[in-house]
Structure formats: structure tokens, C-alpha cells
């Protein structure tokens, strides 16, 4: 599809990935403007409901970004996020909702470059996958 | 101290025999109340009752073939942190599993509740049961007694698909066992915990002698396990073929009217304030018109997929496959199929079976540092 620009919703933890995104900006790393960041206190605080809501309302991809394993500001939030995301991915896969549109990445506050690269990679991947079917699907 | 007692059954009336033994728990002040199923006045249904007087156990049906609610939900209402009175609850295996999960979820406090588990022969849908009960009454028989000795064909699907139709070791305080034996002649009550042993001692003092489960028990469990596994495989394969694509899934839930009955009947959906009742989740004219504008049209009521997927995400790791969601659905959505199928897939990932082991931590309340590799790549 020509002219297709994916929309990505990102749930970024306050302590690592959000700060990493900030660093990417301050450091002037280029990344595609397809990313809508939502700042949350911890990746473990992201209820799967919000991810599902973003997907069924037509986001082409969702990124959950947290601290690297072992570095969680709240000790174990990211480990719990990993378990929740595992369940969610399993459900998306089993029910034909395309689990490739959900990414979980650990990006620290010092990894501005990694943040920019991740968003670039995800945008490219979503361009390959094409628009989410939920953009058109109305019987929800 | 005895580990099991023998309960003799007179004239094939196993419910009277079992009610008699349970009445002894009240008489001997082991507990102050019993949560036990009893038949309604006209025999149309059997409901849980909270009994404080042993004389009020006249129509008790601790062994029965219908399950209007998952009693774990009732225990949630009855449990107390600082107990004033003790309650013994008669639970089916799926109710017991749900109760075990609710204990882990801090929704049931074991302090004042004695779990009495039991072998289960399966249940009918409410409407089917009503019909069967009427037929039995016309023939001059007690419905429960006549159903216990029949070969059952119209049980609920979730009963046919049931994996643990007996009280799994260590989940109940007392376990009523009859599989592999002749329920019309005798029953056994086994203690699975120290609390259970104390209760059993009181029953011993009431005159019940020691016993042990029937010799044929293991073989009968193995036989039914194989039978149910066979059904379950086909049932789940059919489900996955039907709901494994977005089209199939949307078609399956297309008759959903978002009445929330499935949520309200689910023993695991315990939140006092569900996110779907929250003010910020209520659609506004502007949000709906906006969405309709983006897509050209919007199904109303909206967000049925979001609702079912959210419920799956929230409770699938603790789903005990009781099937109450499907019973509660006014439009017969196959929600139990969907949940049973996904519960199997998800619980497998965490090597967890909901309600089977009181000591195993909830999948979402624990973690390992190294696990689930590949999810974050």
C-alpha cells in the first residue's frame, strides 16, 4: 500500500525507556515520527486492557518499553510485565490477532540510540506487515 | 487418628447418608454452619443453602447433578479474617479449584472455612436438569438418585471436558469419595489436611468407623480421565478451528450484548470495581460518533472484542474451567470453550494448573529472572 504510515502506541516506563526516549531527542538521534509515547510509572503497571484497546482501535503496533531485567525501579515490575505480555501475545496469536504487532523491549535511560533504533525497526516491520485490519474492522 | 471414615448408605439414599454425617459436624460444633446444596420445594432445582440447624437438612443434596452458581463466589461473601463463626462448605471439584484460586488471590480467608470437596459425576444445564428431574418424579423416583445410576449423555460440555473431577490431594480439608465404588451402598470421607483430621475425629466420635476408598477408584479415575481427554481434545480442536482467526472470533462473539453475565458468573472475576464499570470507560456520544466517522460505521453496543479479550487477559491464568460463563450467557455464546481453550494454552506456558496446588504461586504474582526468552526480541 502506497503512502501507508504505521501508527505505533508506546507505553514507556518513567524510569528507563521514557528517559531513554528523552535522551534520543536531546542527542538528536533521528527516528520516524510514527510513534505516540504514553508515559507510565512502570511497565508492570500496563494493564493488557490498554494494549488491546490501542490495537482494536486501530494502532498498527504497540510497544511496551521497560527497564532492563534486574534494573526495575520497583524491583520486579518489568518481570511481571514480561509475564503479562506473554499471556497477551499467546492470546493474540491463538485468536488470529497478529502478535507481531506487539513488541516488548527493555531500553535503559542511557540507551537513547537503542530507543531510536527500536522505533525505526518497528516502523519498518509494520510497513512490511501493512495496516492493521482493525483500521477498517467495525464489528468489534 | 483416622485418615478416612466409612459412611454406610441405607436404601440407596446416599444424600441422606452424607447429610447425616455432615449434620454431625454441626451437632458436635466442629462448625457453626454448613454451605450445602438442597432441593427446591418442587424439585425444579438444587441450590446452595447456608444451614445452621441440623434439622434443616431435610432436602440436602450434597451429591447432585446441577450447578446454578460456582459456590466459590459464595465463599468470597462468607469468608472472614477474624472469624466469628466457622463454616463447612460442600464443593464440587471445579468449585474447590476456584476456591483455591480465590484464597491465593486473597479473596477467601481460610480462617473460618472448612473445604469439603467431593468426587463429581458431572452436571446438566439448568434447563436440562429441570426436564430430567420432572421425568424422574413422574416415574416416582428421586431425580438425584436415579441420575446417579444412569449413563449420562447430556452433561454440560465443560463436565465432559473436565480434567480433575475429584478433589485433588491437598486442596480440600475433607474429601467425599465414591468413584470406583457403589455410591448406593457406601461413601468415604477422607481428611486431606490437619483441619480435616480434626473434623474427622469428631465424626469418629459420632460413631463412624474407619474406612478406605474403594479398590476400583484408581481404575475408575483412569477410565474417566481417558474418556474426558478424548472429548476435550475434539472439543478444543473444534474451538480452535472456529475461533483461531479474527473472522471466526468476531463471528463467534457477534451475538454478544455486553450484559456482563459471564463476568458476574465467573468465580475468578472478583474485582469489586471492574474496569468496564469505570466512568472513563463509558462511551460518550462524541467518542462513538468519532469512531463511526473513522471507520464509516460502528457496531453497537461497541467494544465486545475488547471486553472478552480483557477478561481473558485478566483471568485466564486462573480459569478453573467450570463453564459458568457459558451457562450465564443469554445468547449461548461459546465463551466456556474460548476460555477453556485459552486457559489450557496459557497455563501450559507457566506450568500451572489453576486450583490444583494450593502452594503453587499464581503465574502473575511470581516470576523467574531467566524465563520466557524471545518475548522481548
Q: Which regions of B133-181 does DSSP assign to beta strands (E)? A: 174-177
Residue B152 has pLDDT above 90, yes or no: no
* Per-residue confidence (pLDDT) for residue A128, from 0 to 100: 97
Percent of chain B topping pLDDT 70: 100
Residues A1-38: tens digit of each pLDDT: 468 999 999 999 999 999 999 999 999 999 999 999 99
* Per-residue confidence (pLDDT) for residue A2, from 0 to 100: 65
Residue B377 has pLDDT above 90, yes or no: no
Is A3 among the domain residues? no
Selected residues 316-375 of chain B with any CB under 8 Å from a CB in chain A: 316-317, 341-342, 345-346, 349-350, 363-364, 367-369, 371-372, 375
Mean pLDDT calculated for residue range B171-180: 96
- Mean pLDDT of chain A, nearest integer: 96
* Structural domain harbouring A89: 8-135
- Find chain A residues with C-beta within 8 A of B258's C-beta: none
- Find chain A residues with C-beta within 8 A of B269's C-beta: none
Mean pLDDT calculated for residue range B338-351: 97
Q: Chain A residue closest to B295 (CA)?
A: A136
- Find chain A residues with C-beta within 8 A of B372's C-beta: 82-83, 86
pLDDT range class, residue B148, cuts 50, 70, 90: confident
* Per-residue confidence (pLDDT) for residue B19, from 0 to 100: 97
Q: How far apart are CA B262 and CA B274, in angstroms?
A: 13
In this prediction the pTM is 0.95
Q: Chain A residue closest to B347 (CA)?
A: A87
* Burial status of residue A96 (CB atoms within 10 A of its CB: 0-12, 13-18, 19 or more): middle
- Mean pLDDT of chain B, nearest integer: 94
- What CATH number is associated with residue A117? 3.40.50
- Find chain B residues with C-beta within 8 A of A49's C-beta: 275, 306, 310, 313-314
Mean pLDDT calculated for residue range A84-92: 97
* Per-residue confidence (pLDDT) for residue B23, from 0 to 100: 97
CB contact under 8 A, A76 and B364: no
Residue B129 has pLDDT above 70, yes or no: yes
Mean pLDDT calculated for residue range B356-365: 96
Is A22 among the domain residues? yes
Q: Is the peptide bond before B61 cis (omega within 30 degrees of 0)?
A: no
> Within an 8 Å CB–CB cutoff, is residue B304 touching chain A?
yes
Q: How far apart are CA B229 and CA B232, in angstroms?
A: 5
Is A56 among the domain residues? yes
Residue B150 has pLDDT above 90, yes or no: no
User: What is the count of structural domains for chain A?
Assistant: 1
Mean pLDDT calculated for residue range B179-205: 95
Q: How far apart are CA A105 and CA A97, in angstroms?
A: 20
* Per-residue confidence (pLDDT) for residue B83, from 0 to 100: 81
CB contact under 8 A, A138 and B296: yes
- Find chain B residues with C-beta within 8 A of A89's C-beta: 375
Residues recorded for chain A: 140
Which long-range CB contacts under 8 A does B201-207 form with residues at least 24 apart?
B201/B1, B201/B2, B202/B24, B202/B25, B202/B28, B202/B30, B203/B5, B203/B21, B203/B24, B203/B25, B204/B2, B204/B5, B205/B28, B206/B21, B206/B24, B206/B27, B206/B28
Mean pLDDT calculated for residue range B268-288: 93
Mean pLDDT calculated for residue range B143-165: 90
Nearest CB to A140 within list B294, B304, B317? B304
- Find chain A residues with C-beta within 8 A of B346's C-beta: 87, 90-91
Is A54 among the domain residues? yes
CB contact under 8 A, A94 and B342: yes
* Per-residue confidence (pLDDT) for residue B42, from 0 to 100: 82
Residue B2 has pLDDT above 80, yes or no: no
CA–CA min distance A53, chain B (Å)? 6
pLDDT range class, residue B1, cuts 50, 70, 90: low
Amino acid at each position: 500500500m502506497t503512502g501507508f504510515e504505521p501508527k505505533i502506541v508506546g507505553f514507556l516506563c518513567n524510569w528507563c525507556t521514557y528517559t531513554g526516549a528523552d535522551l534520543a531527542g536531546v542527542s538528536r538521534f533521528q527516528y520516524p515520527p510514527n510513534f505516540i509515547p504514553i508515559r507510565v510509572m512502570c511497565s508492570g503497571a500496563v494493564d493488557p486492557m490498554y494494549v488491546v484497546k490501542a490495537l482494536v482501535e486501530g494502532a498498527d503496533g504497540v510497544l511496551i518499553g521497560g527497564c532492563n531485567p534486574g534494573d526495575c525501579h520497583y524491583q520486579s515490575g518489568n518481570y511481571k510485565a514480561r509475564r503479562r505480555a506473554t499471556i497477551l501475545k499467546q492470546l493474540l496469536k491463538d485468536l488470529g490477532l497478529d502478535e507481531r504487532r506487539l513488541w516488548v523491549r527493555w531500553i535503559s535511560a542511557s540507551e537513547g540510540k537503542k530507543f531510536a533504533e527500536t522505533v525505526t525497526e518497528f516502523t519498518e516491520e509494520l510497513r512490511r506487515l501493512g495496516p492493521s485490519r482493525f483500521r477498517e474492522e467495525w464489528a468489534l | 487418628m483416622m485418615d478416612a471414615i466409612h459412611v454406610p448408605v441405607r436404601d440407596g439414599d446416599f444424600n441422606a447418608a452424607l447429610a447425616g454425617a455432615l449434620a454431625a459436624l454441626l451437632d458436635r460444633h466442629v462448625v457453626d454452619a454448613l454451605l450445602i446444596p438442597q432441593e427446591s420445594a418442587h424439585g425444579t432445582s438444587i441450590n446452595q443453602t447456608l444451614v445452621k440447624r441440623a434439622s434443616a437438612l431435610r432436602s440436602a443434596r450434597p451429591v447432585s447433578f446441577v450447578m446454578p452458581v460456582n459456590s466459590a463466589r459464595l465463599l468470597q461473601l462468607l469468608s472472614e479474617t477474624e472469624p466469628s463463626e466457622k463454616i463447612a462448605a460442600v464443593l464440587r471439584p471445579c468449585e474447590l479449584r476456584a476456591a483455591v484460586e480465590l484464597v491465593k488471590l486473597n479473596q477467601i480467608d481460610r480462617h473460618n472455612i472448612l473445604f469439603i470437596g467431593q468426587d463429581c459425576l458431572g452436571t446438566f444445564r439448568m434447563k436440562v436438569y429441570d426436564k430430567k428431574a420432572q421425568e424422574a418424579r413422574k416415574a416416582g423416583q428421586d431425580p438425584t438418585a436415579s441420575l446417579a445410576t444412569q449413563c449420562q449423555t447430556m452433561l454440560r460440555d465443560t463436565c465432559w471436558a473436565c480434567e480433575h473431577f475429584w478433589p485433588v490431594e491437598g486442596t480440600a480439608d475433607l474429601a467425599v469419595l465414591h468413584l470406583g465404588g457403589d455410591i448406593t451402598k457406601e461413601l468415604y470421607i477422607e481428611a486431606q489436611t490437619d483441619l480435616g483430621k480434626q473434623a474427622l475425629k469428631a465424626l469418629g466420635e459420632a460413631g463412624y468407623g474407619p474406612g478406605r476408598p474403594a479398590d476400583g477408584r484408581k481404575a475408575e479415575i483412569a477410565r474417566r480421565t481417558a474418556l474426558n481427554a478424548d472429548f476435550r481434545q475434539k472439543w478444543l480442536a473444534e474451538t480452535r478451528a472456529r475461533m483461531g482467526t479474527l473472522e471466526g472470533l468476531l463471528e463467534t462473539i457477534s451475538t454478544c450484548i455486553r450484559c456482563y453475565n459471564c463476568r458476574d458468573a465467573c468465580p475468578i472475576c472478583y474485582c469489586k470495581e471492574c474496569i468496564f464499570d469505570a466512568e472513563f470507560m463509558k462511551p460518550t456520544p462524541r467518542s462513538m460518533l468519532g469512531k463511526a466517522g473513522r471507520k464509516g460505521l460502528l457496531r453497537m453496543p461497541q467494544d465486545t472484542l475488547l471486553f472478552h479479550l480483557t477478561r481473558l487477559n485478566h483471568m485466564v491464568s486462573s480459569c478453573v474451567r467450570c463453564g459458568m460463563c457459558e451457562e450465564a450467557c443469554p445468547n449461548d455464546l461459546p465463551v466456556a470453550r474460548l476460555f477453556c481453550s485459552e486457559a489450557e494454552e496459557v497455563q501450559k506456558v507457566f506450568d500451572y494448573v489453576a486450583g490444583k496446588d494450593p502452594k503453587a504461586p499464581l503465574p502473575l504474582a511470581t516470576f523467574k529472572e531467566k524465563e520466557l526468552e524471545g518475548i522481548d526480541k
